[in-house]
């Protein structure tokens, strides 16, 4: 087993402990494991020649996400942003420990942390690829469930923000996804109002 495969296995085993599950195409998955696999798939589609650091980051971007509950932070935007920031640091820390355990050098570990923390978004192509992939995972696997929980106005706002995070390759991939009729209508409205 290569070092990359060993790291993937450790990341996957960690994420398989996710208490939330997803039923997709008749198969039950631990949620964070499912999303890590799908994120990795999108990164490899968007960047077929991705280097090892980006591949590693794609598989551990949200590792252990369930371990810091959103409800442990105050309601509202400030609480949400603090939770997201703390989570990113937490993910990066777990990833660094695992990468060190399998023998990665400090330069690679630092690079993976940089991508996981999404530093220099828009300026760093690997970080932008990661952001594109994260948005595509949301649109492909979580979007329809969120529509049922939000008002149309809130969904349009979320879609406009999501669209703004993506670069042209991400936006192009997003337009190629199959959506429900309501989902496509909301996207078209969000882009028209943008």
Range of the domain at 33: 1-117
Cα–Cα distance, 109 to 102 (Å, whole number): 11
Q: How many C-beta neighbours within 10 Å does residue 132 have?
A: 25
Burial 43-81 (b: 16+ CB within 10 A, else e): bbebbeebeebbbbbbbbbbbbbeeeeeeebeeeeeeee
pLDDT of residue 1: 78
DSSP letter at 51? -
Same domain membership, residue 139 and residue 104: no
pLDDT of residue 169: 95
Tokens of 172: 């192009």
Total domains present in the chain: 2
Same domain membership, residue 26 and residue 95: yes
Cα–Cα distance, 115 to 92 (Å, whole number): 9
Residue 176 has pLDDT above 60, yes or no: yes
Query: Which of 83, 117, 151 is the last residue before a domain boundary?
Result: 117
Residue 117 has pLDDT above 80, yes or no: yes
Same domain membership, residue 110 and residue 14: yes
Q: How confident is the model at residue 192 (pLDDT cuts 50, 70, 90)?
A: confident
Task: Enter the pTM of the model.
Answer: 0.92
Residue 99 and residue 108 in contact, taking contact as beta carbons nearer than 8 Å: yes
* Pick from 49, 56, 42: nearest CA to 8: 56
* Mean pLDDT (the chain, rounded): 94
Q: Give the residue-averaged pLDDT of 173-188.
A: 93
Same domain membership, residue 56 and residue 89: yes
Tokens of 108: 């690679």
Q: Residue 185 to residues 44, 89, 106, 116, 147: CA-CA distances in angstroms?
A: 29, 36, 47, 32, 11
Per-residue pLDDT tens for 48-72?
999 999 999 999 999 999 999 999 9
Residue 75 and residue 23 in contact, taking contact as beta carbons nearer than 8 Å: no
Same domain membership, residue 172 and residue 92: no
Per-residue pLDDT tens for 95-106?
999 999 999 999
Q: Give the residue-averaged pLDDT of 121-148.
A: 94
Q: How confident is the model at residue 193 (pLDDT cuts 50, 70, 90)?
A: low
Task: Express as a percent the part of the chain with pLDDT over 70.
Answer: 99
Same domain membership, residue 104 and residue 138: no
Task: Express as a percent the part of the chain with pLDDT over 90.
Answer: 89
Residues 6+ apart with CB under 8 A from 113: 92, 95, 96
């Amino acid at each position: 087993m290569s070092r990359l495969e060993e790291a993937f296995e450790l990341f996957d085993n960690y994420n398989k402990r996710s208490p939330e599950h997803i039923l997709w195409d008749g198969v039950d998955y631990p949620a964070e494991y499912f999303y890590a696999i799908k994120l990795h798939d999108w990164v490899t589609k968007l960047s077929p020649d991705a280097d090892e650091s980006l591949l590693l980051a794609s598989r551990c971007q949200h590792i252990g996400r369930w371990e810091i509950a959103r409800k442990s932070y105050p309601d509202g935007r400030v609480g949400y942003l603090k939770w997201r920031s703390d989570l990113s640091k937490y993910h990066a820390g777990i990833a660094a420990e695992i990468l060190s355990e399998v023998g990665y050098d400090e330069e690679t570990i630092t690079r993976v942390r940089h991508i996981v923390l999404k530093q220099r978004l828009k300026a760093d192509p690997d970080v932008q690829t990661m952001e594109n992939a994260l948005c595509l995972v949301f649109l492909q696997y979580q979007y329809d469930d969120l529509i049922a929980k939000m008002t149309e106005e809130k969904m349009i706002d979320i879609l406009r923000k999501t669209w703004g995070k993506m670069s042209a390759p991400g936006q192009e991939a997003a337009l190629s996804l199959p959506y429900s009729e309501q989902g496509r209508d909301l996207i078209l409205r969000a882009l028209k109002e943008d």
